[in-house]
Amino acid sequence: MRKKLVVIGAGMASGRVLEHVLAQDPDGWDITLFNAEPRGNYNRIMLSPVLSGEKTYDEIVTHDDDFYRQHDITCRFGESVVRIDRANKVVLSNDGGAPYDKLLIATGSAPFIIPVPGHDLPGVITYRDMDDTQAMIDASHRPGGTAVVIGGGLLGLEAAAGLTARGMAVTVIHLMGHLMERQLDPAAGYLLQKDLGARGLTVHCKGATKAILGKDRAEAVLLEDGTVYPADLVCMAVGIRPETRIATDAALEIGRGITVDDHMVTSDPDILAVGECVEHDGQLFGLVAPLYDQARVVAATLLGQDAAFRPVQTATKLKVTGVDLFSAGDFADGEGREDIVFRDPARGVYKRLVIEGDRLIGAVMYGDTADGSWFFGLIKDGTDIAAMRDTLIFGPAWQGGTGADPLAAVAALPPEAEICGCNGICKGTITAAIEGGAASLADIRAQTKASASCGTCTGLVEQVLASTLGDAFQMPAAQPVCACTDLTHEDVRRLIKARALKSMAALMQELGWKTSCGCHHCRPALNFYLLADWPLDYTDDAQSRFVNERNHANIQKDGTYSVVPRMWGGMTNPAELRAIADAADKYAIPAVKVTGGQRIDLLGVRKADLPHIWADLNKAGLVSGHAYSKGLRTVKTCVGTDFCRFGTQDSTGLGIKLEKRLWGSWTPHKVKLAVSGCPRNCAESTCKDIGIICVDSGYEVGVGGAAGMDLKETQRLAKVTTEAEAIDLTVAFVQLYREHAKYLDRPYKWLAKVGLDWVQAQIVEDPDNRAALIARFDLSQSVYQRDPWADRATPQAQADFAPLADFTREAAE
Amino acid sequence: MTWLDIGALDDIPQRGARVVKTVQGCVAVFRTGDDRVFAMDDRCPHRGGPLSEGIVHGHAVTCPLHNWVFSLETGMAQGADEGAVATYPARVEGGRILIDAARLIRGRAA
C-alpha cells in the first residue's frame, strides 16, 4: 500500500524534495502536487535572465510534464488550496479534496506591497513568479516605455536590469543610503550605482515612496521629497514575507513563518514544511542554498531517516549580466575587526576583506569576483589566515607560488571546497562525477546539480573539468583569456581597437594584466591580435610566439624540426626536387614524406642546421611553406582544364594565384585552402577552411570546412562568375577572420559563433566593406609577406640558431 | 666557485633562451624580461622537451611540448604538475653571462 504524499506549492524547494524522495524510494509514495500557478516546477532564480531576454521559460523549467508523468505524480496546477482538514487528513481545494498520510507545505513567500495610495492600480506589479515576469515583458513592448522599480535590493536590481535590457527607461527608488545595503558596503554600493548609471539606469537612494499616481492605471510615482518619476509600470520589490495563510488557518504553530523543528516537521507531526514559508530557530530563509539543504532533510524525514537542518552561511551574487559582485559573511565595521581593502579605480574593482582575530569573517567584492568562492570557503571553515594575511586579498593564486597556471588555483582547492553555493556541491563531488565518466558541463549539471541553479559557478565548474580532464575538455568561449586577466578574448580584441593599444606593454598596462609579462596562453594571442590590427605600428614579438613560429619549423617530439618548402598550388619541377634531394643528402635527413597538402616534408633536422638547409633550398627558388604557422598553409589543387578531361576551369592556376596572394599572412589559427576543377572535387575542397569548386558557370566559394578533430563540410559563401571575384571573396574572408576571430579558433568555430549570414552581409552583400577588407589585408601583407628563410640566411641568424657555448670539446681534451 | 664567461647578455633575447652544450647534455640559459639570467637543464622531466624553446614569462618558462611550467629560480614544476629540473648558478657582470664552471664541465672528472 503506497503512502499518500500531498505537496502544496511547486517551487524550487519542493521540486528538490520530490527528486530526493523519488530517487531513494521510487515506488513508495502516491504523490499529489498542488500549485496555484498554472505550471510546474521551474527555476525561480532564473527569472531575471528570462526578463532580460537571455533565457526563455522553457530553458528554466526544472521538471516538465514528462517528469510528472514518468513518476506518476498527480498534478493539480492552477488550483489554489483553500483549507487543510487536519482531523481527517485531507487537503481541500475548490475542485475537491486530496487525502494525505504526509503533507508538505511549500507555499513560499509573498511580496510586500507598500500600502501607499495607488498601490492597487493596474500597472503596479510585484516580481515573484512567471506571471509577474510575463507582465513586465508585455509592458516593455511599448516603445519609449518608462518603469519605476521600488526597492534597490537583489530582486529589485535584477528586475530593473531586465527591464532596461528590454528597452524601458528605468528608475530605481531605494529607501536606504546605498544599493543592496544588506549585501554591500557603501563603497561597493557606490560602484554598483555608477555601473548601473552607465547602463542608463537612474538610481534614487534615500527615496521614500509617497504615492503611485494615475487615473485608470499607474502613470507616475511620487516621492516624499516631491520628486515625480513617470512610470507606465511600477514594480514593487521591497521584500518578501513567508506565505503562511493556509498554515495559520489550520492552527499550526506560526512565528514569522511556519515553525519547523530540525527535521522540518511543523507542530503537526504529519505535516512538514520547506522553503521560504518556514521559520527555523527564529530565522527565515530566502536564498536557494539553505532551501536545498532543507529539501534534503524533508526527504530524509519522510523516508524515516535521521537528518537535521543546520543553517550555514550563504554568499550572494547579483545576476545582472556584466555586473560582477559578491558578498559573504559579516562585513560591518566593529571593534577588533580589521579591513584589507584593494581598489583599482580604472577597472572599477573594489575588494574588501573583514578580519577578526586571525579569521576571515566577511568579504565584499565588486568588479572582480573570481576569488569569491575561495574567500567564502575561508569564512565558512574559519581557516586561520595569519600566514597568508599579507597576500590574502590577491586570492588563492598568490598563495604558495606563482599564478602561472590559470587552473592552478582551482586545481589547488581541496576536495571539500564548495564550488556550487546554491546546491552545496563541493569540488570532490564534481571530481568524483568526472572520474565516473562525466565529461561536460551538461553531465556535471545532470549528475551533481552543480551550476544547475543560478549558474554563476559555471566558470568554476568548467575549471574543475579542465583541471581534471586536461586537454580532453574544451573550455567554452566566454572564459577569460587566462589567469592573467578577467577579460575574454572578445573583450581584448574590442579594447585593442577601441583604445588603440599598439604594444604589448600598453595593452597589459591599460587592461590591468595581473602578471608582469603575461604567460604562454595570452602572449601568443595578444601578439597576433596586435599585429593583425596594427600591422604598421606593432612590432612582431618572436618571444611571444610558440616555438614553431619562432623557429619557422615544426618541433618534433625529439626536439628536431621538420622543413617543408612551399610548392605553389602543389606544382613542382625537377630542379626543385633535385634541390630537395640534395639537401636531404647533405644534412642526413632521416625521413622524407609527402604531406596531405601536396608538398614534401623533410623530417628530423637539427636546429643548428635549419638556417643552412633553408639557404640551400632558397638558392633553388624554394621558400618556406609555413607548415608550422597559424597562417596560410597550403592551397591544394587538382590539375583542372590543363590536363583533366572533366576540368571546367584552370583550378591549378587559381590555386597558385591564391597562394601567391595569401602566403605569409598570420591568422588566428591555420588556414588551408583547396581549389577543385569540377564537382568531382579531387582537391577535397569541401573540407577546407576555404574551398573553391569550379563549375562551368563559375566558382562556388565555400567556407568553414574542417577535417581535424571535427569533420565539417564547407558552407556556401557565394557563387561567382569570374576568377577575380573568387579571389576577392577569399581574401576578404581571410581578413574578416583575422580581424574578428578568437586566437586558436579555426574558421569553422568562428563561423559557428558569428553565423554565415553575418559573414555574407559583410563581404558578399557589401562591396565597399569587401574592398576595405581587401585593402587592409594587402596593407598587412606589405609588412608580413616575407620569406622567413631568406631573412635568416645571415651569419648572425645562423649563429642565433647554434648553441651559445660548447663545453663538450673542453671536457674531452 | 669558478665562473665561466659563456657569452654576452645581448646574445640572448629578452624573454628568450640559448643553450650551452655540455657532456651531460644541454643547459638552457634564460634571460628574463628584467634582464636576470637563469640556467637549468634543457630537458623537461615530463617528455624531454627542450625548455630553451619555451615561452618565458616572469621568472618561469613553459615547456613547448606539453605546457608544463617551471620556475627558473628553483627548477620546480608549477601548478598541478610534479617534477624538477636541475638549476645552475648564473649571473650577469659587465654585460657578460657567467655560469658556475664546476657544474658545467664536471664531465672532466668523470
The answer to whether residues A240 and A2 touch, using CB atoms and an 8 Å cutoff, is: no
Q: Is B67 on the interface with A (CB under 8 A)?
A: yes
| ipTM passes above 0.90 | yes
Residue A253 has pLDDT above 70, yes or no: yes
What was the pLDDT predicted at A622? 96
* Out of A404, A551, A811, closest to residue B60 by CB: A404
**Starting from the edge strand earliest in sequence, which strands make up the sheet with B69-71, in order?**
B55-57, B60-62, B69-71
Stretch A192-203: mean pLDDT: 86
Joined together, the cell numbers standing for residue B5 give: 664567461
Exposed/middle/buried for residue A322 (C-beta within 10 Å: 0-12, 13-18, 19+) = exposed
Which chain A residue's Cα is nearest to B103?
A807
Subunit contact A550:B19, Cβ cutoff 8 A: no
- What are the pLDDT digits (tens) for A310-319? 887 677 766 6
- Which residues is A159 bridged to in the sheet? none
- Cell 489550520, residue located: A250
Interface test with A, best of B11, B31, B55 (most A CBs within 10 A): B55
CATH number at residue B26: 2.102.10.10
Window 544-583 of A, Cβ < 8 Å to B = 544-547, 550-551, 555, 557-559
Quick check: helix, strand or coil at residue A82? strand
* Out of B19, B34, B71, closest to residue A402 by CB: B71
> Which domains are seen in chain A, by residue range?
3-109+242-302 (3.50.50.60), 113-238 (3.50.50.60), 489-545 (no CATH), 549-629 (3.90.480.10), 636-784 (3.30.413.10)
Number of domains in chain B: 1
Q: A402-406, A626-630, A741-745: which range is least confident on average?
A: A402-406
How many Cβ contacts (< 8 angstroms) between chains A and B?
Answer: 120
Exposed/middle/buried for residue B104 (C-beta within 10 Å: 0-12, 13-18, 19+) = buried
The answer to whether residues B31 and B37 touch, using CB atoms and an 8 Å cutoff, is: yes
Joined together, the cell numbers standing for residue A688 give: 577546407
What was the pLDDT predicted at B108? 42
User: How far is A681 from A677, CA to CA, in rounded Å?
Assistant: 7
Quick check: helix, strand or coil at residue A438? coil
Residue A420 has pLDDT above 60, yes or no: yes
Subunit contact B105:A807, Cβ cutoff 8 A: yes
Q: How far is A529 from chain B (nearest CA, A)?
A: 18
The residue segments making up the domain with residue B49 are 3-108
CB contacts of A808 in chain B (<8 Å) are 21-23, 107
Provide the residue type at A72 as one letter.
D
* Out of A404, A467, A517, closest to residue B78 by CB: A404
Residue A755 has pLDDT above 90, yes or no: no
The count of other CB atoms within 10 Å of the CB of residue A696 is 8
CB contacts of A411 in chain B (<8 Å) are 79-80
Subunit contact A516:B80, Cβ cutoff 8 A: no
What was the pLDDT predicted at B109? 39
Which chain B residue's Cα is nearest to A468?
B80
Residue A813 has pLDDT above 50, yes or no: no
Q: How far is A612 from chain B (nearest CA, A)?
A: 18
Q: Which residues are within 8 A (CB) of A115 and not within 5 positions of it... i.e. 6 or more apart?
A: none
Tell me chain B's radius of gyration from C-alpha atoms: 13
Higher pLDDT, A136 or A422: A136
Backbone angles phi, psi at A351, to 5 degrees: -135, 135
Query: Which of A677, A673, A619, A615 is closest to A644 using CA atoms?
Result: A677
What was the pLDDT predicted at A321? 60
What was the pLDDT predicted at A336? 77
Which chain A residue's Cα is nearest to B18?
A804
* Out of A518, A551, A803, closest to residue B19 by CB: A803
CB contacts of B16 in chain A (<8 Å) are 542-543
CB contacts of B104 in chain A (<8 Å) are 807
Interface test with B, best of A516, A517, A527, A544 (most B CBs within 10 A): A517
Subunit contact A559:B49, Cβ cutoff 8 A: yes
Q: What's the whole-number average pLDDT of chain A?
A: 88
- What are the pLDDT digits (tens) for A657-686? 999 999 999 999 999 999 999 999 999 999
Q: Is A594 on the interface with B (CB under 8 A)?
A: no
Q: What sections of A511-573 are H helices per DSSP?
A: 522-533, 547-551
Q: Which residues are within 8 A (CB) of A426 and not within 5 positions of it... i.e. 6 or more apart?
A: A415, A416, A417, A418, A419
The answer to whether residues A656 and A568 touch, using CB atoms and an 8 Å cutoff, is: yes
CB contacts of B13 in chain A (<8 Å) are 542-543
Subunit contact A811:B22, Cβ cutoff 8 A: yes
Query: Which of B78, B72, B55, B23 is closest to A806 using CA atoms?
Result: B23
The answer to whether residues A298 and A17 touch, using CB atoms and an 8 Å cutoff, is: yes
The count of other CB atoms within 10 Å of the CB of residue B12 is 22
CB contacts of A401 in chain B (<8 Å) are 71, 78
Higher pLDDT, A384 or A318: A384
Q: How far is A515 from chain B (nearest CA, A)?
A: 8
Joined together, the cell numbers standing for residue A419 give: 564550488
The answer to whether residues A382 and A355 touch, using CB atoms and an 8 Å cutoff, is: no
Q: How far is A783 from chain B (nearest CA, A)?
A: 22
Residue A157 has pLDDT above 70, yes or no: yes
- pLDDT band for position A796 (50/70/90)? confident
Q: Is A523 on the interface with B (CB under 8 A)?
A: yes
Joined together, the cell numbers standing for residue A342 give: 584593494
- pLDDT band for position A172 (50/70/90)? very high
> Directed axis angle between helix A489-498 and helix A522-533, to 10°?
40
Long-range contacts at A714-718 (CB < 8 A, ≥ 24 apart): A714/A685, A714/A686, A714/A687, A714/A688, A714/A690, A715/A751, A715/A756, A717/A756, A717/A759, A717/A760, A717/A763, A717/A764, A718/A760, A718/A764
CB contacts of A516 in chain B (<8 Å) are 33-34, 57-58
The answer to whether residues B99 and B90 touch, using CB atoms and an 8 Å cutoff, is: yes
User: How far is A735 from A694, CA to CA, in rounded Å?
Assistant: 23
- Cell 604567460, residue located: A519
Q: Which residues are within 8 A (CB) of A726 and not within 5 positions of it... i.e. 6 or more apart?
A: A654, A692, A698, A699, A701, A720
**CA dist A448 → A43, A245, A440, A455, A470 (Å):** 16, 35, 12, 13, 20
Subunit contact B69:A544, Cβ cutoff 8 A: no
**CA dist A230 → A135, A173, A742, B79 (Å):** 18, 12, 44, 56
Query: Which of A680, A717, A695 is closest to A649 using CA atoms?
Result: A695
Interface test with B, best of A484, A513, A543, A800 (most B CBs within 10 A): A543
- pLDDT band for position A455 (50/70/90)? low
Higher pLDDT, B107 or A51: A51
Subunit contact A807:B20, Cβ cutoff 8 A: yes
Query: Which of B61, B10, B58, B16 is closest to A541 using CA atoms?
Result: B16
Stretch A474-500: mean pLDDT: 80
User: How far is A349 from A368, CA to CA, in rounded Å?
Assistant: 6
Query: Which of A188, A229, A20, A221 is closest to A119 using CA atoms?
Result: A221
Joined together, the cell numbers standing for residue A238 give: 521591497
CB contacts of B69 in chain A (<8 Å) are 404-405, 519-520
Q: How far is B40 from chain A (nearest CA, A)?
A: 14
The answer to whether residues A300 and A307 touch, using CB atoms and an 8 Å cutoff, is: yes
Interface test with A, best of B14, B29, B31, B53 (most A CBs within 10 A): B53
